[in-house]
Amino acid sequence: MTKTITLNGKSITLEQSDTIADFTMEMKITGTMYVIEKNGKIVNKEDYAAEPVVHGDVLELVGLVGGG
């Protein structure tokens, strides 16, 4: 079932994402250097498979950059 969410301030439609884990696969997000915030709260990576994505959610995807 499709749902519309806001990702980094832009409205997008998801086709297959029922959880944050599904979302990362649908959006082809790879690597480990990112954080996902859902409706103002950071989602722990170990919770991605259980954290639902529903119509109207606001997600922020932030890539982490190392360096000094």
- The enclosing domain of 30 has a CATH number of 3.10.20.30
Cβ pair 58, 9 in contact under 8 A? no
pLDDT in tens, 47-59: 999 999 999 999 9
Q: Are strands 58-63 and 3-7 parallel, antiparallel or unpaired?
A: parallel
Q: Domain total for the chain?
A: 1
What's the domain range around 34?
A: 3-63
Q: Evaluate whether residue 41 is within a structural domain.
A: yes
Q: Is 68 contained in some domain?
A: no
**pTM of the complete model:** 0.89
Rounded to 5 degrees, what are φ and ψ at 60?
A: -120, 125
31 falls in which pLDDT band (50, 70, 90)? confident
